[in-house]
Amino acid sequence: MLRGAWQTQSQSADGASEASQLQEIPPETITVAIFCALPHEVVAVKCSLDEEFPCRPKKVDPKNYMYSFGRIGSLRIVIARFHSVGTVSAAHGATAVSHQFPNVMFALLVGTGTGIPDPPKYDVRLGDIVVSVPQDNHPGVVQYDFGKYEDDGFVLKGSLNKPPPILLSADGQLVEEEIMDRSPLESILQHITNKLGISRPEIEDILFDQNFAHMSQEKDCRKCEEMGGEKVAREARYYPVVHRGLVLSGSGIVRNSIDRERLRRGYKAALCFEMEAAGIMDEIPCLVIRGISDYADAHVQEGWHHYAAAVAAAYCKTILCKVDSQKHMILINLHTVDNLDEAFIDTSKFPIAETAHFGPYAVQHRVEFLDEWSNFELSSPTLYKKR
- Residues 143-169: tens digit of each pLDDT: 987 766 565 555 655 579 999 999 999
- Which percentage of the chain shows pLDDT scores above 70? 64
Mean pLDDT for 341-358 is 51
pLDDT for 66 beyond 70: yes
SS3 of the chain: the string is: CCCCCCHHHHCCCCCCCCHHHCCCECHHHCCEEEEECCHHHHHHHHCCCCEECCECCCCCCCCCCEEEEEEECCEEEEEEECCCCCHHHHHHHHHHHHHHCCCCCEEEEEEEEEECCECCCECCCCCCEEEECCECCECCEEECCCEEEECCEEEECCCCCCCCHHHHHHHHHHHHHHHCCCCCHHHHHHHHHHHHCCCCCCCCCCCECCCCCCCCCCCCCHHHHHCCCCECCCCCCCCCCEEEEEEEECCCCCCCHHHHHHHCCCCCCEEEEECCHHHHCCCCCEEEEEEEEECCCCCCCCCCHHHHHHHHHHHHHHHHHHCCHHHHHHHHHHHHHHCCCHHHHCHHHCCCCCCCCCCCCCCCCCHHHHHHHHCCCCCCCCCCCCC
How confident is the model at residue 155, as a pLDDT? 60
- Residues 179-193: tens digit of each pLDDT: 999 999 999 999 999
pLDDT top residue among 316 and 4: 316
How confident is the model at residue 227, as a pLDDT? 57
How confident is the model at residue 19, as a pLDDT? 47
Q: Which domains does the chain have, with CATH numbers?
A: 7-337 (3.40.50.1580), 346-374 (no CATH)
- Residues 320-338: tens digit of each pLDDT: 999 976 566 666 666 655 5
pLDDT for 291 beyond 80: yes
How confident is the model at residue 386, as a pLDDT? 47
Mean pLDDT for 48-61 is 88
- Residues 208-258: tens digit of each pLDDT: 655 556 555 555 555 556 555 566 656 778 899 999 999 999 887 777 666
